[in-house]
Structure 1
Amino acid sequence: MDQSLIQPDKMELVVVTHVVDAITFWAQNVTDKINEKIIDMLTEKCPSAPILMGRPSSHKVYGARYSEDKCWYRCTVQQQTEDKFYILYIDYGNTEIVSRSDLVELPEELQTTGLAKKYKFWGFHVSSEQDSPLFSQGKSFLQNMIHGKKLRVHKKSVCFDGTILVEAFQGNLDIGEELLKFKFAKVSLPGNRENSLPSVNLQEHTGLWPTRTPPRELDTFGSSLGCMPKLRPIFSDLKPQIIKEQKTTIALQPVEKPNAGPEPLTEIKVSKTDVNGQQLCSQDTEQVPDETESELQRMREVINDKDMEIKKLKEEGNAIQEHASLLGQQLEEAKLELQALKESYEKTVETEHNHPTTVGNRISQLAKKVDSLRKLRESNPCSTDEDHLLESITIIMNYRISMPLSSERLEIAWKAYDQTLENLRGCQSMVEVELLVNIRNEARGALLSAVDDFLQEVDKLPINERLDRLKDIASSLTAMFSSVMLAEQTEECSFEKFCEWKGHKQQKIKNVRKTTDEALLALSRWAAKLSKFSCLMERTSLTEEDVAEGVDEILMNADNALCEELNTEFSEQEDEERKIVFNAFRKAMQDIQREQSLLEAIRQKYELNTKFKQEIQQWQSGPPKADELFAVKKHIRSLRSQLRWKLVEVSCLEEAEELDLPEILKKKEEIAETRNALFQEISHEKKQYILLCELMKKGFPELPMIYPDADINGYMSSAGLLMKSLDRDMFDAEPMKELSGRRPLLSTDFQGQKVVLKCYAVDEETEAKMLEQAAQYHRAQQQNPATTVPLLALFCGKSDPLAYIMVPHYSNGSLRAIQKSSPLSSCEIRKVMKGIALGLQSLHAASLIHAALHPNNVFAIGREKGIVGDYDFTKAPEQRVSDSGMVAGSISLVAPELKQGQLPSPASDMYAFGGIMLWLHVPDFSGTLESDRQNAEFTGLDLDAKLHKLLSKLLFSSTRLSASEALKEDYFI
């Protein structure tokens, strides 16, 4: 649109503060001059403002600390999840997720509307989905063009949510034209279509739609209407015509249409169907046998009986309703009689009070009240629940422990130290390593100094005693006030309000008791006068006027004072008082929990820094070295040479013409001793690797660079699995011919344990792939060691292109071997399959697909504990699943989707799991499991109901169970 056609007074000058997408942005009016004033007020008030407690109000404005510059800005809370808040900065338009500690209450002078308004280009919608690259490119394009710059905007309309639809210009540049040119937005024309919704127009439109709309956009205009922003609601008489027609279609249809054209085909079909139905019904009715007639008669009688019962129930209901009305009327009459009796009783009490019958009665009533008050004062505890709460508040407020001042310096030192470690990890040059090590050592010294200061300061704090005291206070307060629950949400309350209320209440009780004591003292003095006047043995100056003076007033004052104190002691708290007490209790509990969290954090930080100091102090004299590792490696080479030489000697003795059996046995014993010593040294080598890896993680990342021959990185990348010192000729291994169908398997001993060596032919590429997959499996296995077969070691042959995986030897422990020799019972099958499901759950949680689950590769330890075996680490899952061994009996363990070309997944593992379970229960099952017809065949098997339900969800369900879901089924519970 040409800017010259717009009147200058209709244009506004704004500065863009935030860009949402390619057509939406937030901006402030340039004429608003209060932004700096608001920032100054926020900087002054927010650091000391109270933190937001409880649930926030969506109508209030809060202060929030922005994560990037740590400055305070105004915001509104859009959504809360636990202690995380999704907020909108109302003066700028950007959003962020902050914690409760970064939100504060703002005073009334800052509770004003935001300076930023949301704008959207009029007549546009985004031309791509939100997760597409074009969407982010459009946003970046608009961001670079207008963010932080001044624009002239021309308002066109206002959306329902307050978004302002505008045309925007930067100098002589039309921003909308640029968005269209680069295809970041499309035009949405609000034409005169019947189903279009009107918006709230801000001005009259002259001329046609801007000429920048491409013809191809006009062609697709109908599909773009759905992308228009939601505007203000329309009146009912402005509804689209198509909606009106839909609502009045039935009412407008005439009963008859004489001389009308042919009816729609559907109506003709319906009428024909009705006629045919009536003809069939008439034919059936004529052919109904007599016995059917009698059956219909019996049904009619039953219906009549039911009608009579319904009628009777209605009559009973009416009678009950009339009786309820009568009872309601009688209740109202009883209330009126009770009110009259109450008024009569009050008049009688007042009359007796003003006109006592006899002095004896008054004295008797007064004595009863005195006795009641004496017992009440004696039985009442020294402190009430409110007194205990007040005492607890005093302890909470006056003996609070805050974070030590040295903590901030410690955090800075830790950040500097961590940064030096990060620099060392990224270093690739030995020259740089020496420099960075010196910098690290300086940072470590500064950190140790800060740690010492922190530990000394914490040692002076009674943290444990304070935690115990807070725990006791919390327990006692919870026991006293946990039953005090209010129906409505109470407001935030400070301790000052409770203390003020408690002070007023204590003063009131004190004044009431003082008045009672003074009234009873006056009564005692009058009684003394009467006693002295009535004593005839002594002369007295008292006269009858002195004795009778003010008697009625004294008795009345005493009676009133006693009644006042008794009513005060027995009176219940009002709603407002209960709110004050409960709010104080809630705030006390919040303060206790907050301080407990702080003290626990201090104690945890103290323990961590103490441990760090102890670990670092042992390296004060010098950094750790790999000398012991190299010494162990040297010893291993020596023992290996000795073993090789002894094996040659035995071989020569065995091939000699005259066998020297004693010498051969002696040499074999020496070989066994040497082999055991060699394996012990290899175990020692592994411990050294573990120690060096721990040191590298904690504070010495330069070790792999300083000692490249140790290959620490190679050991870590294999998750501690790779043991380069091992070789095939170290073992006294025997081939396992009965199990070596696909690859050679060797049975041997290693460190006193029976193990199996699995041999794989590898090249450089296959070896790297094998190491990676074996390390992934090893890490997952270590998370849940009892559910999958452990990998003991991995090594490559030095004289042949073979890699060896060492696993425990489970003699005749596979499911196939067990089922062949002594099949499992139903109870044993449940226990074994539950262990296998746990193993699959562990692998799937680590994003690993087994793809080789078959009876030879799952084991039943002790016929009760099922574990999942390892798989071929040289093959990908899609290669493993195509193995011919993926069968159980005649049941194929390959999921139907894999046969259709899909890749293996956790669901395909669960299909194999279900196939193995079916094979264990029905070993001779010969059907297939790929269609509904076979599902019916499967249903005919004699299976337990819980087992049948589980197998159906594993083998036939379109949404197959996961391992965790299968474990929750009734079969395993």
Structure 2
Amino acid sequence: MDEDTHYNKVEDVVGSHVEDAVTFWAQSISRNKDIMKIGSSLSEICPHANSVFGNLDPKKCLVRYIDYGNTEILNRSDIVEIPLDLQFSSVAKKYRLWGLQIPSGQEVTQFDQGRTFLGSLIFEKEIKMRIKATYQDGTVIAQAEYGSVDIGEEVAKKGFAEKCRLTSSTSISEEKKSDPGQLVLRNLKNPIPLWGHRSNQSTFSRPKGRLSGRLPLELKNENDSGNHVTFPKENLAVGDFNLGSNVSLAKIKQDQKLIEENEKLKTEKEVLLERYKALELKVEQTALELQQEKATTVDLTKHLESTLKTRVGTRMKNLAAKVEMLKEIRRVNINIRFGNDLSDAIQVLDEDRFTIPASLNELEIIWAEYSLAQEKIRSCQDVNEGSILVAERNEVQQKLYMAVEIFILEVDELPLNKRLKTLQDLSASLEAVYGQAKEGTDSEEILKKFYDWKCDKREEITSVRSETEVSLQRLVSWFQSTLKAFDLSVEESLTSEDTIGNIDELLENTESSVCKELEISLIEQGDADKEIIFNTYSEVLQRIHSEERLIATVQSKYKDSVEFKKQVIECLNESPNVDHLLSIKKTLKSLKARLRWKLVEKNNLEESDDHDGSEIEIIKQEITQLRNSVFQEIYHEQEEYEKLTSLVKKWFPELPLLHPEIGLLKYMNSGGLLTMSLERDLLDTEPMKELSSKRPLVCSEVDGQIILLKGYSVDVDTEARVIQRAAAYHRAWKEAKEQSGLLPLIFLFLCKSDPMAYLMVPYYPRANLRAIQSSMPLTSEEALKVMKGVAQGLHTLHKADIIHGALHQNNVFALNRQQGIVGDFDFTKSVSQRASVSMMVGDLSLLSPELKMGKPASPSSDLYAYGCLLLWLSVQNQEFETNEDGIPKVDQFHLDDNVKSLLCSLIYCRSSVTAEQVLNAECFLLPKGKSAPNTEKDTEYTQKKEEELKVENLDKNK
């Protein structure tokens, strides 16, 4: 080994082939041109040559050309040494990692893994080699580095190699002086892992065409005796021998054969050794099992001996425990198991069954006649005919009054509440045991089957119970008779056979009887038994509910009868009149005249040249007081109208016919929205030019509230339709009022001088979505709160069969940035006219695809507009992408999963979604632990709005 000549010399090489975890071949970067020249020459000589592959043959061996990566199978006799004049110095050098060796006894799998790991570190990579020594066969011992990575340390860390043991200088000198022939023989006895045995050969070499000649044999010298891995004979390659060897090929073949036989014997030895160890382990396991069985037998014998000592006591305790269990089962389970509770319920239903009072049928006949008379009066248009119908109605009313008195007296004697309480308790107890019943049962057939089944079960359980009781009685008798045998005071001589008898047989019979009854009582009921019991339960429950409904009907009719009797007595004492309403109207007329006069007075003073400011201020205060008084009287008028409307609906439908001057019918048709006492010139209004693009809008103040007055041009037909549509909207709002999610309508009145209808609504300055989003956009939480209120508004309208048709950002309001409400729409237009107007939010159309196709508006088109508004609020100023139908793409935005799910339902699957379902969507549910709304922010916003209103009021009064 040459250690000093090139010590610590550094070379840059490229890895090309790996033999094992510490040995590899690499090519110097400085010889790139020579390699390219050789490759070009070979490609010109044999451009179409391919590698030779095939099945291995004992007479052939695997040859690898390290420099070029080709592989082929050759006959051993064909392998010869190349003449010196044809030889070319090796392009690649063989390197061995410094200070490392392969561990002794390394498995083949680990050997392959180590070779693969080293290949991943060096193959086709530029490596810096720091030379430490060189073997006589040309192997270079060096420290390999790739960048900052020490390759030797990485291989050692993975456990594929270990540090070399220190070697004395004597052994090194002997190594140098050894005969080359001995070196060859020693290496032949230590087979080396071959390239052909790699798991992925192509990773480290690439086919480049065969050489036309045969490569020289190379002798492999590991220089680490004792660290060898054995491989099959077919994987040994001739290319593993050194070029400088003087050993003949025949000698090599002989040594190879000896090595193979030696390996075969070693394998057989290992197999026999493994069999021996397996048999030895089996003998040990069998001995251990035998010892365990002996210990188990001893324990079992001891347990039997101890058990026999307490056999009588244990048996009696077990029997007593079973008898106690049987007592509990007889007390509880038998009622449910054999339908005793259902039998009791049927008995309760049959014994005190409630029947309809005889006077109820007569009462309902007369009541129907009375309702018909009322309906005739309601539809009558002639006053004279109406008077006749009222007289006829009064006669029927007297008859109904008598029938009501009889019915009330009869019902007062019935224990309705007590019976209802009994039925409710009975149904509750049965439902707690059996659960929900099923509908549609055949009562007679079910009850008959239940009674037959119960009789059979009763016979069976009676027989078993009788047997149990007899056996227990015999056991009790035995105990009583046995007392004499153990009583020393008894002088009578008794034999043990006469007294004790066969107690074992007696105990056996008693245990058998008790266990049989327990088995019958505890065994799971069959499907047929369950079906009979459940069908009977369903029938019983239906009978209970039927009787409950009958009692509820009688109670309801009783309540109506008491109310009718009370109302009739009041009507007989004092008939309804409209004097109070007429008095209010007269007061209103006077107040409006004074208000108009004061307005004229103020105008005259303001137009005069020498007007007194203090006098004008006094008149303004009087005008304000008069205007407030007018509205107070209008509110009183509304209250009186409501009272009369209630009387008309219940008892006196003739009032609108007999008193047409009060306009009660118009008030009722408008749902209480229309007032005839309010006029446009009575209000101190300010024109709203910025909001009057479609219709004239003015702003005013009523009772401290800022209101907006919307003007509609109407003709005779349009006026009726406006009143009808506004009334429907107003009725929907009145159902829930503040919880309706709708903008309230305050008054609807008609102008006497112009063909105009005016609608008074609350005014929320800069509270619509468009204004809010342009100034201070809603947060995601605020947007969800607002849109939940909007969903409530749509639900209120759709429940009343009203389609909005004009939902857009200007018509949705966010009060205090928390409560969302839906604004009203143009009552002069039909729903199709409203829906045909193009509505946009940003670049997104709010018209649903079906509206664009000419289909009529529907709740789903409202929900489409709602979904687009929700998407607009959720994504703020982001651009929308739409498909060919103009439908926005929701997936492009990063949104909350619940919000995205709701948007997909609204925009893509509207036909299957309702406003009520939207209202109950997951994204609108308040999560647990959610913080309360930011009251400080709301207060700041409210104060800001109040300041704006004050500024507007000051501007109006200038």
TM-score (norm 1): 0.54
2:464–2:516: 8 Å Cα contact kept in structure 1? no
Amino acid at match of 2:757: A
**In 1, Cα distance between equivalents of 2:645 and 2:514:** 78
Q: Give the Å deviation of 1:756.
A: 0.8
Instruction: Give CA deviations for 1:182-235 in whole Å, capped at 9, x if unaligned.
Output: xxxxxxxxxxxxxxxxxxxxxxxxxxxxxxxxxxxxxxxxxxxxxxxxxxxxxx
Match of 1:568 among 513, 517, 523: 517
Q: Give the Å deviation of 1:384.
A: 5.1
Cα gap change, 1:578 to 1:721, in 2 (>3 Å): closer
Following superposition of structure 1 onto structure 2, how do residues 455-854 of structure 1 map, counting pairs within 5 Å? Answer: 455-480=408-433, 492-494=446-448, 496-497=451-452, 500=455, 504=459, 508=463, 511-512=466-467, 515=470, 519=474, 523=478, 535-536=490-491, 560=509, 564=513, 567-568=516-517, 571-572=520-521, 575=526, 584-656=536-608, 658-783=610-735, 785=737, 786-854=740-808
Q: Give the Å deviation of 1:817.
A: 1.9
**In 2, Cα distance between equivalents of 1:561 and 1:940:** 80
2:836–2:851: 8 Å Cα contact kept in structure 1? no
2:468–2:513: 8 Å Cα contact kept in structure 1? no
Q: Give the Å deviation of 1:412.
A: 2.0
**In 2, Cα distance between equivalents of 1:567 and 1:949:** 61
Instruction: Give CA deviations for 1:487-510 in whole Å, capped at 9, x if unaligned.
Output: x99972346446645764686577
**Structure 1 residues 682-691 or 512-521, which shifts more?**
512-521
**In 2, Cα distance between equivalents of 1:591 and 1:957:** 44
Q: Give the Å deviation of 1:734.
A: 2.0
1:849–1:877: 8 Å Cα contact kept in structure 2? yes
Instruction: Give CA deviations for 1:471-499 in whole Å, capped at 9, x if unaligned.
Output: 333344444555999xx999723464466
**In 1, Cα distance between equivalents of 2:817 and 2:727:** 29
Amino acid at match of 2:794: L
1:893–1:912: 8 Å Cα contact kept in structure 2? yes
Give the 3-state SS of the residue equivalent to 2:708 in structure 1. Answer: strand
Which residue in 2 is equivalent to 1:32? none
Give the 3-state SS of the residue equivalent to 1:726 in structure 2. Answer: coil
Cα gap change, 1:762 to 1:595, in 2 (>3 Å): closer
Which residue in 1 is equivalent to 2:362? 409
Match of 1:437 among 379, 384, 390: 390
Q: Give the Å deviation of 1:900.
A: 6.1
**In 2, Cα distance between equivalents of 1:681 and 1:797:** 19
Q: Give the Å deviation of 1:637.
A: 1.2
**In 2, Cα distance between equivalents of 1:603 and 1:924:** 62
Amino acid at match of 2:641: Y
Instruction: Give CA deviations for 1:929-950 in whole Å, capped at 9, x if unaligned.
Output: 5726x77999767777776776
1:746–1:757: 8 Å Cα contact kept in structure 2? yes
Cα gap change, 1:659 to 1:568, in 2 (>3 Å): same
The answer for unaligned runs of 5 or more in structure 2 is 1-198, 203-308, 926-958
Give the 3-state SS of the residue equivalent to 1:471 in structure 2. Answer: helix
**Structure 1 residues 889-898 or 741-750, which shifts more?**
889-898
Q: Give the Å deviation of 1:690.
A: 1.6
**In 1, Cα distance between equivalents of 2:378 and 2:841:** 50
Q: Give the Å deviation of 1:731.
A: 1.5
Aligned length: 608
2:882–2:889: 8 Å Cα contact kept in structure 1? no
Instruction: Give CA deviations for 1:93-117 in whole Å, capped at 9, x if unaligned.
Output: xxxxxxxxxxxxxxxxxxxxxxxxx
**In 1, Cα distance between equivalents of 2:895 and 2:642:** 51
**In 2, Cα distance between equivalents of 1:946 and 1:366:** 66
Where relative contact order (Cα < 8 A, 6+ residues apart) is larger, the structure is 2
Following superposition of structure 1 onto structure 2, how do residues 890-969 of structure 1 map, counting pairs within 5 Å? Answer: 891-894=844-847, 904-906=857-859, 908-917=861-870, 919-920=872-873, 931=884, 963=915
Q: Give the Å deviation of 1:461.
A: 3.1
Which residue in 1 is equivalent to 2:133? none
2:769–2:810: 8 Å Cα contact kept in structure 1? yes
**In 1, Cα distance between equivalents of 2:883 and 2:487:** 116
Amino acid at match of 1:451: V
Which residue in 1 is equivalent to 2:405? 452
2:813–2:822: 8 Å Cα contact kept in structure 1? yes
Instruction: Give CA deviations for 1:601-641 in whole Å, capped at 9, x if unaligned.
Output: 33333334333433443223243222222222122112212
Cα gap change, 1:558 to 1:447, in 2 (>3 Å): farther
Q: Give the Å deviation of 1:586.
A: 4.5
Q: Give the Å deviation of 1:726.
A: 0.7
Q: Give the Å deviation of 1:755.
A: 1.0
1:862 aligns with 2:862: no
2:882–2:888: 8 Å Cα contact kept in structure 1? no
Amino acid at match of 2:565: K
Cα gap change, 1:362 to 1:529, in 2 (>3 Å): farther
1:498–1:584: 8 Å Cα contact kept in structure 2? no
Which residue in 2 is equivalent to 1:174? none
Give the 3-state SS of the residue equivalent to 1:571 in structure 2. Answer: helix
**In 2, Cα distance between equivalents of 1:676 and 1:440:** 43
Q: Give the Å deviation of 1:878.
A: 4.8
TM-score (norm 2): 0.54
Give the 3-state SS of the residue equivalent to 1:789 in structure 2. Answer: coil
Q: Give the Å deviation of 1:805.
A: 0.5
Cα gap change, 1:385 to 1:395, in 2 (>3 Å): farther
Q: Percent identity?
A: 37
Larger Rg: 2
Cα gap change, 1:935 to 1:554, in 2 (>3 Å): closer
2:863–2:910: 8 Å Cα contact kept in structure 1? no
Amino acid at match of 1:400: R
2:698–2:709: 8 Å Cα contact kept in structure 1? yes
Cα gap change, 1:390 to 1:384, in 2 (>3 Å): farther
1:853–1:909: 8 Å Cα contact kept in structure 2? yes
Which residue in 2 is equivalent to 1:399? 352
2:434–2:534: 8 Å Cα contact kept in structure 1? yes
Amino acid at match of 1:421: Q
Cα gap change, 1:705 to 1:511, in 2 (>3 Å): same
The answer for unaligned runs of 5 or more in structure 1 is 1-297, 302-359
Cα gap change, 1:757 to 1:445, in 2 (>3 Å): same
Following superposition of structure 1 onto structure 2, how do residues 317-336 of structure 1 map, counting pairs within 5 Å? Answer: none
Q: Give the Å deviation of 1:892.
A: 4.8
**In 2, Cα distance between equivalents of 1:909 and 1:484:** 41
Cα gap change, 1:477 to 1:664, in 2 (>3 Å): same
**In 2, Cα distance between equivalents of 1:969 and 1:510:** 60
1:896–1:930: 8 Å Cα contact kept in structure 2? no
Q: Give the Å deviation of 1:804.
A: 0.5
**In 1, Cα distance between equivalents of 2:597 and 2:654:** 39
